[in-house]
Chain A
Amino acid sequence: MLDMVRKDSFRHGVHPPEHKDETSHLAIRRFPFAPELVVPLSQHLGKPAVAVVREGQEVVRGQTIAEPDGFVSVAMHAPASGVVKRIALAPSISGTMVPSVYLQPYPASSQEAADGESCDAETATPDEIILAIQRAGVVGLGGAAFPTHVKLKAPEGKRLDTLIINGVECEPYLTTDHRVMLEQTADIFLGVRYLLRATGTTEAIIAVEANKPDAVRKLEENCPQDLPVSIRVCPVKYPQGAEKLVIKSLLGREIPSGGLPADVNAICINVATTAEIGRLLPRGRGIQERVITIGGPGVQRKGNYRIPIGTTVRFALEETGAAQNISRVFLGGPMMGAAVSNLDISITKGTSGITAFTTAETGEATGHKTVYPCIHCARCVEACPLFLNPSHLGLLAKNEEYVQMAEEYNLMDCFECGACSYVCPSHIPLVQYFRLAKKMVRRLSAPE
């Protein structure tokens, strides 16, 4: 009930166990190169990149191996120095096969990367910065993997006034943003400088959830005097980190249903993305690696690792010591992460973590939970941060009333945070229903 009077948060939401102290104190460590790296050409929303290397070609770490195809697309860079073995299909998290570059790193491949054309935060024009970000292959590292440079250009007729740097990280188990804030503080502020310039915004706010007091202190202590940036602490609540909710919490503005942050004159960029911009742009480099949390009860050497893009989940788990009885592995945290059906899929730019559960957590040992009919207990209604009615949507989904779900019950606003399924005492897989329903609605409304 306190939520209603608190201005710095949003209503509803849930409080899953955080499990963050298992890895939040562990400094980022470098990950070794796998014997083979598989770099998908489509790691972002939008058009896949176009490969500019041949099979058999030698590449240097950091070299561009694929160019963006159009504006909503970004470049790819070689994660290691080595030889391109082949360009072929590889399994992906969605279950489909995607074109990928198979790279065999040299045994003594250096961790040093090739520099490119520098972009200066003080002198570059907004368009030059936007181009540099696209060429650096930067996408939202929080998980959505939307090309960052596309967000920076306000749509026609819209003006941006506030830049929000999202360091909330509300997913359980994940501590990558936390470590980045502690260890790449200077990069973050430099990134903010680029972003302010590129977007023409006059104010930046770094949002951090209250469970990372050390990150807040570090940011406050190192904040440059001349930068119009403030650090704001949000109460701990899931899904505080969702774009719509972090903007609501900080600015009190509600993005209209179906709209974009630009509709409320705001832009929201993940803190790790910001740090990467600050780290890469001065030297004209591209993203060849990213920080992920490898954790969960099924992992022996939990931690935060700077891991080359294209490393397979199998190699990552081998290096960190997976338990005998792992039964479910997912990319990201347990609330929104996608379970992998195949350990040979690659870590991409959008992967914020690998979490492994054992038979104890998934209930395989104790028997899976019975799904009961909905008893209208209203817990999902009390949990949904967008004030949808998951209970009724669930009933409609069962009857395949997809159009009614979208037209009368705002199905398409659901961003699948999982709060409804998390609280459901009947164990109804509501989010799964809604994913399917959204797909069906898109299919139905697509032109023939």
Chain B
Amino acid sequence: MSKPKKYLEIGSSPHISSGASVEVIMRNVLIALSPVCVFAVYSFGTAAGLVLATATISCIATEHVLCKVTGQPSSIGDWSAAITGLLYGLTLPPDLPLWMVVVGAVFAIAVGKFLFGGLGSNAFNPALVGRAFIQAAFPQPMTHWALPLGDTRFVDLPGSTLAWPFAQPAYDAVTTATPLAEMKFDSIQAANRELLFGLTSGSAGETCAVLVLLGGAYLVARNMMNWRIPISIFTAVAVITWMFNLYDPVLFPRPTFMLFSGGLMLGAVFMATDMVASPITNVGCWLYGFLIGVVVVVIRFWGALPEGVMYAILLANAVSPLIDRLVRPRVFGTGKGAR
């Protein structure tokens, strides 16, 4: 034989791997999110683009700095900070002052992710942690909604976008209410067509249900998302809403309105499915999804807020470890299967 190399490598079996990797999964999530992002910019103009870019860059920068400060190798290469940033940006009102965007992004990574131990250890979806923080800190700007497809959206920036930190943002005159607020306070239900194709106001990435579903379908097809989570959320919301809608069609909206309005689609497809903060078993995922669906309906129908997807997911994230403790698959050769 030709002489073998001087040394052999040893390692524990298996010696082959399926080729799956964290980077590949994260990159695919970015691909799935890209149509939603493009539409957000198309619909809300330069301001939305700035919000998304600011959110993403701030998240990546925060992660990089925190890694350096704590003496670890930088973990921005796994793309997870980029996803957190982008998801966080998509949940924000498109004319939110950029300095507030930065504050939430820093909070999302520092508190939502790093404090818990970084990638794989976050108990809550970091993007939603960031959003919850600025929702509490700046309630008014967070409920200020720009009109979609405004004429000057690529020419002018809303006065609020570049507001100085801690100054009262100057809002333009033209604002509107989200479909959920209209429903809650005026009992007006937007048409399905408007909700599906993004003709309403709302957070940057939540208005076009079709594109969100498209991204979700892509991830499911590539086996990178547990479809049981969104499906169970949709089922719970649709069934409960349908029953109440039968009881009183004026007070309670139709199921399709509930499904396609607000952040339900974006939340169910991209936020609730955060692998780290959701249960690991399929049965657990069904329970987790149903829980989110129920809480969303309860908050939307009887809560003070028009929207409840964020709180529903954060609550379910908190319950997720408990679900994993309770729901365990029957191990081969134990229980009723063994004889």
Contact = CB atoms under 8 A, between A and B. Distances in A.
Contacts of B56: none
Contact of A378 (B2, B119, B281): B281
Contacts of B334: 256-257, 410
Contacts of B276: 375-376
B14 A254 contact: no
Interface string A381-413: 100011111011000000000000000001001
B78 A423 contact: no
Nearest to A410: B331
Contacts of A257: 331-334, 338
B331 A379 contact: no
A256 to B, nearest CB: 4
Interface stretch (B17-25, B200-208, B235-243): B17-25
Nearest to A418: B14
A64 B280 CA distance: 55
Q: Categorize the interface residue count of chain B.
A: 35 or more
- Which of B118, B120, B278, B328 counts the most A-chain CB atoms under 10 A from its CB? B120
A273 B278 CA distance: 47
B136 interface: no
Contacts, number: 181
Contacts of A329: 8
Contacts of B4: 317, 322, 324, 326, 343
Nearest to B324: A392
B1 A328 contact: no
A425 interface: yes
Contact of A422 (B16, B278, B330): B16
B46 interface: no
B5 interface: yes
B337 A254 contact: yes
Contact of B20 (A264, A379, A388): A379
A335 B16 contact: yes
A323 B275 CA distance: 42
Interface in A356-389: 357, 361-362, 364, 369, 372-379, 381, 385-389
A386 B339 contact: no
Interface in B303-329: 324, 328-329
Nearest to B14: A418
B140 interface: no
B152 interface: no
A327 interface: yes
Contacts of A376: 120, 275-278, 280
Contacts of B226: 378
B168 to A, nearest CB: 41
A7 to B, nearest CB: 14
Contacts of A17: 16
Contacts of B121: 373
Main secondary structure of the interface of B (DSSP, over half): loop
Interface in B110-160: 117-121
Interface residues of A, number: 74
A333 B106 CA distance: 48
Interface stretch (A41-49, A84-92, A428-436): A428-436
Contact of A244 (B5, B119, B282, B333): B333
B12 interface: yes
B15 interface: yes
Interface string A325-348: 111111000111111111100000
B118 A373 contact: yes
B331 A338 contact: no
Interface in B16-45: 16-18, 20-22, 24-25
A16 interface: yes
Given A256-B334, A376-B278, A391-B280, A327 B15 contact: no
B184 to A, nearest CB: 35
Nearest to B285: A378
- Which of B1, B2, B78 counts the most A-chain CB atoms under 10 A from its CB? B1
Contacts of A14: 18
B9 interface: yes
A172 interface: yes
- Which of B20, B118, B331, B332 counts the most A-chain CB atoms under 10 A from its CB? B332
Contacts of B14: 334-336, 418, 421-422, 431
Contacts of A388: 331
A329 B15 CA distance: 10
Interface in A142-179: 172
Contact of A385 (B10, B20, B332): B332
- Which of B11, B78, B226 counts the most A-chain CB atoms under 10 A from its CB? B11
Contacts of A435: 12
Contacts of A392: 280, 324
Contacts of A355: 15
A219 to B, nearest CB: 29
A429 B13 CA distance: 9
B18 A429 contact: no
B124 to A, nearest CB: 13
B275 A387 contact: no
Given A339-B10, A339-B11, A357-B15, A424 B20 contact: yes
Contacts of A324: 2-5
A253 interface: yes
B285 to A, nearest CB: 8
Given A257-B338, A326-B4, A423 B20 contact: yes
A381 B18 contact: no
A375 B29 CA distance: 14
A389 B326 CA distance: 13
Interface in A79-102: none
Contacts of A16: 16, 18
A364 B9 contact: yes
A35 interface: no
B67 to A, nearest CB: 13
Interface string A293-336: 00000000000000000000000011101111111111000111
Contact of B280 (A389, A421, A423): A389
Contacts of B119: 372-373, 375
Contact of B25 (A330, A340, A425): A425
Contacts of A377: 25, 275
22 contacts: A257-B332, A257-B338, A264-B339, A324-B3, A324-B4, A325-B5, A327-B8, A342-B8, A362-B11, A372-B119, A373-B120, A378-B275, A378-B280, A385-B332, A387-B329, A421-B12, A422-B14, A422-B17, A424-B17, A425-B20, A427-B21, A432-B12
Given A254-B333, A339-B12, 7 more contacts: A254-B337, A319-B1, A324-B3, A357-B15, A372-B120, A378-B281, A423-B17
Nearest 5 A/B pairs, CB to CB: A373-B120, A418-B14, A432-B12, A386-B332, A425-B20
